[in-house]
Amino acid sequence: MEIKPGDFNRLREVFAGKGVLLSGKLSSAVERLCFYFAFDALRNNKKECVVWVSTDYSYEKAVGMFKEYDIDIRPYLDRFLFVDLITLKSGARAGDSKNVKYVQDPGNLTELSLAISEHVDSRKCGLVVIHLLNSMLVYNDLERSMEFIRILNARAYDRKFAFLGAFIEGEQDVKAEVSMQIAVDVIAKVSGKDIHIITPTEVHSFSFEFKKGKLLMTKKQGIFSREEFGL
């Protein structure tokens, strides 16, 4: 699978039908990239929606985070469909937006699956984002979480949307991190200003930077192997 520098800007198109694990340390740009890819999918695919599954942020806080990263998502909020796992769990009051579905029990993966499916089935969906996969492992044990991710990955293949899961390394043990890697098709590993796109057979490495609201990527020279990343 050949990946060019501009392809990761088109994550929705290039990885349609695939699951992508976006991982890196807490100090990395994982979160910023996650928000950027959702915005980019909405901006470039005007007839498709993005389903954003939020384990830690309410709808209002998530929208505010886009602004923190200098991303203006307001023109696209009608196609930004949200699944909220934290509001009812925390005892906060739910809003009344039809674009937001609230999960009563984040540990009930059947309830979560239903909320995602209702959004995916309601309109043409181009991208499903889980931000963050770490908290799924707080609410659920590893085996059930991996079953859920595999099912969502299979759903992505069937419906031809891209599935992006953001994961912060270091909170969970090695077993959990490896399990996450096995459960998806592609790993996008962020390290400093580099991002390594790891497919089942190849590694494509790029340096990246944000300029004027755009993600610019430059292909790194050299040959990289999966073994270098413990795969």
- pLDDT tens-digit readout, 97-127: 999 999 999 999 999 999 999 999 999 999 9
Residue 8 clears pLDDT 80, i.e. is over it? no
Burial track 110-146 (b if 16+ CB lie within 10 A, e otherwise): ebbeebbeebbeeeebbbbbbbbbbbbbebbeeeebb
Domains of the chain: which residue ranges? 9-186
- pLDDT tens-digit readout, 162-187: 999 999 999 999 999 999 999 999 99
pTM for the structure as a whole: 0.95
Specify the 3-state DSSP secondary structure of 161.
coil
Q: Which two tokens stand for residue 98?
A: 């039809």
* Sign of the dihedral through C-alpha 105, 52, 57, 179: positive
CATH of 9-186, one of 1.25.40.10, 3.30.559.10, 3.40.50.1370, 3.40.50.300: 3.40.50.300
